[in-house]
Every structure is written in structure tokens, then in C-alpha cells.
Amino acid sequence: MIKKGNVFVLIAIVLVLTACQSSQQPLQPTQQETVDFDRTAATEMVEKKERMIMDAASKGTFTKQEYDELEKAFTEEFGDRAQDFLSMLFITDLDAAPDADRKINENMLYPTVFHEGVNLTSATVNKVEYEENMLNQTTLTVKEEYDGNDEKLQGWNREYIFEPDENDKWQLKSFFRNDEF
């Protein structure tokens, strides 16, 4: 347990460090580069993830064992974002027993590249380098957009953000979507 005196010291240190940081010039990249990424490879990456979502959504109900297996598969495919996708897919019943069946949220709409009118519109790698190599960033942004006639989906888009892991394999780090439909 942290003592009150230690909390005040910690807050004072944070305030001093924040004040010192604000007086310095923000770090400027030494080099920035944006290049197109192979759309076929990007499509394969997105299709694999979205196929898993569609397959799970079509099942409807999962036993505890099936859910545990799905959770493991999602963790392998989606990494740190697995719980985000599972929470979108499943209805959370806080009153249910721990071993109760889990039901898919039937009202969830998750457009995918398998839906008519949803297309992968861009895939780009952005590299930002700094003097301090530990600050360097490389991201792959894959964007999907809806260009069909369904008024409910007009203006819809989503961006998947990937970063390379220690083996230079692209791992999903985040996703952003326009859900105003």
C-alpha cells in the first residue's frame, strides 16, 4: 500500500518532470516515409481476421469449451485486441454462470470485405525515424470503405493499424471505424 506522503512526493515529481518537458522543443523526426503496401497481402491479412469474425457470428451460441477455444484462436490472430473483438461479438450476461453458453450479439453489424460494397481502398506503410532509435515507429494502415447503395452504410469506413513484431510479422495494434450508420 502506498502511504499518503509517498503519493504527494510522486505527484510532485510528475509535476516537475512535466514542467521540464514542456519547456523543451518537441522531438522532430529525422526521416518520414510513406509507401504503398502490397494490396494482395493486405487483403489476405484482413480477410483472415474478418473470416474468423464472420464464422463466429454465424454460429450463434458457444459452449464454455467452444468459447475458450475461440478466445484462444482470437488471441493468436488479434493479439492484444482479441478481447475488443470478442466483446463486440458476444452478449455479456453478468448474471450467467461461469460455464453457461455464450450467445452472439445478433444486433451487431460488422461489415467485412466479404460484404458487397466493402472494399479495401488503401494499404500504406508509414515509417518515422528519430535520432533516438527507440522512438522509431513503423505502421501499416489498411483502410476499408463502403461504396455501395445501402443508405445505412453510406460513409462507413474502417482502418486497421498493424505494427511489426520482433520477427517483423505484422500484428494488429488497433482499429478505427466510422460507426455512424
Phi, psi of 129 (to 5 degrees): -115, 145
Cell digits of residue 7? 503519493
The mean pLDDT value for 172-180 works out to 79
User: What angle do the packed helices 82-89 and 64-78 form, to 10 degrees?
Assistant: 140
The mean pLDDT value for 22-28 works out to 65
The mean pLDDT value for 28-55 works out to 94
Over residues 109-133, the pLDDT tens digits come to 889 999 999 999 999 999 999 988 8
Task: Please provide the DSSP assignment of 64-112 as one string.
Answer: HHHHHHHHHHHHHHHGGGHHHHHHHHB---TTS-TTS-EEB-TT-----
CA distance 140 to 167: 15
pLDDT at 69 over 90: yes
Under 8 Å between Cβ of 121 and 144: yes
Q: What is the pLDDT of residue 179?
A: 58
Q: Which residue has the higher pLDDT, 21 or 113?
A: 113
How many residues are listed for the chain in this entry? Answer: 181
Q: Which residue has the higher pLDDT, 95 or 88?
A: 88
CA distance 167 to 88: 29
Contacts 24+ apart (CB under 8 A), 66-71: 67/102
Q: Which of 158, 181, 162 is nearest to 172 (CA)?
A: 162
Q: What is the pLDDT of residue 30?
A: 85
Q: What is the pLDDT of residue 98?
A: 82
Confidence of residue 181 (pLDDT cuts 50, 70, 90): very low
- Tell me the percentage of the chain whose pLDDT exceeds 70: 84
